[in-house]
Structure 1
């Protein structure tokens, strides 16, 4: 992989609170491990993944037909609304073989890290409390600071900065 926005992976996870479950969808860039889009809700309806994808598209503005989005065969990812959002943004859909956990291993690894570092850190009282913690964990810790062995012990943000094309405006 030569740079960001070539392959994105997406999936959903869930975690209980005393108030009920919370669901989180994330879009992760395979190049840098950066979470480029995410969404939280109290249900797993299609809007959850469409909103995460929408955030990724707004933040990254990928070139038409240049970004592959890999997902599993979950109903949210095979829905008409999700497919329409992919087509409208010019993304190329990719779905792994049914039941092959390795196809989406990057995002599964991300969920495992979130489970250990955030979800299991304490009992969560409310959905709002956990949603705020997810926001802080992704935006204030994981993307800017958390180092990864697979990208030279850099954070996702630092890895992308180190591999950014030279600025030709100066």
Structure 2
């Protein structure tokens, strides 16, 4: 889940099935009080299709964690004056 203020990934989860529990786990991982959320948006668009086959859910979780760390700490966004999400937030 993406915070639109600074494009930071704030919530995520991995699982073997797409179901409500997967979404709830992602929402529970958000370190903010969700009672104050004014807008919650989903594009319900097509999912990213990846030809890579993960060996396990643990591997998927580790690689997802690494990607999110890169996205939040290193990836520069033109909409954030070419800063990373966490640098912009600071």
User: TM-score category by the smaller chain?
Assistant: 0.7 to 0.9
TM-score w.r.t. structure 1 length?
0.45
Equivalents in 1 of 2:82, 2:41: separation in Å? 25
**Greater C-alpha radius of gyration:** 1
Check if 1:44 corresponds to 2:15: no
**Partner residue of 1:145?**
74
The alignment's C-alpha RMSD in Å is 2.5
**Partner residue of 1:23?**
none
Check if 1:28 corresponds to 2:20: no
Offset at residue 60 of structure 1 (A): 1.8
Equivalents in 1 of 2:23, 2:70: separation in Å? 22
Larger fraction in strand:
1
Offset at residue 65 of structure 1 (A): 4.1
Contact 2:2/2:10 (<8 A) preserved: yes
* CA deviations over 1:45-93 (Å, ceiling 9, x no partner): 101001111111xx1225x444311124x6xxxxxxxxxxxxxxxxxxx
Check if 1:160 corresponds to 2:89: yes
Which of the pair has the greater relative contact order for Cα pairs under 8 Å at 6+ separation? 2
Where in structure 1 do 4 or more consecutive aligned residues deviate above 6 Å? Answer: none
Gap runs ≥5 in structure 2: none
**Partner residue of 1:69?**
40
**Partner residue of 2:29?**
55
Contact 1:37/1:55 (<8 A) preserved: yes
TM-score w.r.t. structure 2 length?
0.80
Contact 1:124/1:130 (<8 A) preserved: no
